[in-house]
Amino acid sequence: MKLNYKRTILVGFAFFLISAFWQAYDAIVPLILTNHYGLSQTVSGTVMSLDNILAVFLLPIFGAISDKIMTRLGRRTPFIIVGTVAAVISFIFLAVMDAAQLSRLADEGIIDAYNATKAALDSAREAGNEALVALHEEGLEKIAERVHEITLGNLWPVVGFIGVLLVVLLSMAIFRSPAVALMPDVTVKPLRSKGNAIINLMGAAGGILVLALGIVFGTSKNLYMSYVGYVLAVIGIMVAGLVVFVLTVKEKTWAQEMEAESERLGIEERTESDGGEKKKLSRPELISLMLILASVALWYIGYNSITSKYSVYATNILGFDYNATLIVAQAAAIVSYIPVGIVSSKFGRRKTILAGVAMLATAFLLGYFITPNVHPLVMYPIFMLAGIGWATINVNSFPMVVELARGGDVGKYTGYYYTASMAAQIIAPILSGALYDLLGMRHVFFIFGTVFVALSFVTMFFVKHGDAKPEKQDALEALAGAED
């Protein structure tokens, strides 16, 4: 029983294009909201939670709907095609609306004032003139206040921007659960941690490509830059991923082969449609499912509080290029995905997740001690640790949820997983944003993330179900299998 790596990689192109989108979205939308529209951290955090609010309701629905239908392309593929096309078109409109707002700011003299003040500030810092530094920093704050006043003077541009944003998010919600459910559809249960490792590796590859684009376009260097070119480049990556997926993935055939293999191995219950009686979760299994979902919610609150505002924190507080540090985290995750899948098949998903949670909490805690006076290179090993920790969690948490799914309920259980993660991400940017405004971003940012990730260790510790049966092979055989 070995994982078909080529097939899993091709299925992973759906997650590749999803991750490319979210990497771009999480990077530029907070910057647009805070810098181009002058919104507070609390308000921008609330807007950033809209995708999660929609997801809580829509992802289980679309996941369950995709369980019920069958087309000549399969259950999931039609959702992936329609959702991606809609997301691409609406994302272009979002960038155009932001460009219109920048034109408005230029007409008000904001951009010229910012460029002059920023140049003077950089000169003062190089000269070590603290008095001038403070004066020019105050000037930048006044410019930001003026942007806020312009937005309040006419709310229609920001209302229109948020309206288009909702269309973008609805488009992504259409196919996120179906895309993620596709891997379990074509992979037998004991191999799903390894399969999820490949899927996450593909997602990380998409994220790294977009981060590299961020460096090329200099998205962290100019608070009032236009993102139209950057968004078009990201869309190019998404479309390329969709084309590869559509041309190579044979969902219907592969799902039928997986069902036949599962039946041969005796590891899949018969579904109601096959004449079998669908088995319900036992009470201990239900408790484990609830604990797993609680753990997912807690670590996502901590993780999303960092990722949803890191571009703002790195740019405005530390003065770092956020793209470079995030590339390091993604690269570390890519290197660790396959080894993590092998380790979890040997030692179990729960134990592996606990190790990942410990690594992620440690990385966030260390991040607190990084200041603007510390060289940016010091952040790299911290983000490497965070990337490995998050990869270790991600590879195993989703398979633990769908391990408990019965028969044709994979889409529904995928929806449960996303309900927990998205509900957490509704809370994260709003609560963390309010604390940033109240106590200051510098002292709350990493501590907030650390606390919630640490809490997830406690809930995961008591989970008893969701591990696959250990594979009967030694470590050398496992490593050999990873090369197939």
Tell me: the pLDDT tens digits for 321-362? 777 787 888 788 888 888 887 888 788 889 999 999 999 999
Decide if pLDDT at 377 tops 90: no
- Give just the sign of the alpha carbon dihedral 217, 219, 223, 227: positive
Q: Using alpha carbons, select from 50, 249, 84, 255 the residue that is nearest to residue 166.
A: 50
Per-residue pLDDT, averaged over 411-426, amounts to: 82
Decide if pLDDT at 427 tops 60: yes
- pLDDT band for position 469 (50/70/90)? low
Q: Is 272 inside a domain boundary?
A: no
Q: Which of 261-265, 406-410, 472-476 has the lowest mean pLDDT?
A: 472-476
Phi, psi torsion values for 180, nearest 5 degrees? -75, -35
What's the pLDDT tens digit per position in 138-180? 888 898 889 999 999 999 999 999 999 999 999 998 998 899 8
Q: Is 19 inside a domain boundary?
A: yes
Hey, is 40 helix, strand or coil?
Answer: coil
What's the pLDDT tens digit per position in 2-12? 888 899 999 99
Give 54: exposed, middle or buried? Use CB within 10 Å, 0-12, 13-18, 19+. middle
Q: Is 274 inside a domain boundary?
A: no
Other residues' Cβ atoms within 10 Å of the Cβ of residue 97: 18
- Count up the domains in the chain and report the number: 1
Structural domain span for residue 55: 5-267+280-481
Percent of the chain with pLDDT over 70: 93
Q: Are 359 and 347 in contact (CB under 8 A)?
A: no
Q: Is 88 inside a domain boundary?
A: yes
Determine the Cα–Cα distance for residues 325 and 195; give it in Å rounded to an integer.
27
Angle CA 76–78–81, to nearest 5: 110
- CATH number for 421: 1.20.1250.20
Decide if pLDDT at 253 tops 80: yes
Q: Is 98 inside a domain boundary?
A: yes
Q: Is 390 inside a domain boundary?
A: yes
Decide if pLDDT at 478 tops 70: no
- For residues 242 and 26, which has the higher predicted lDDT (pLDDT)? 242
Indicate yes or no: pTM above 0.85.
no
Please, what is the average pLDDT of the chain? 85
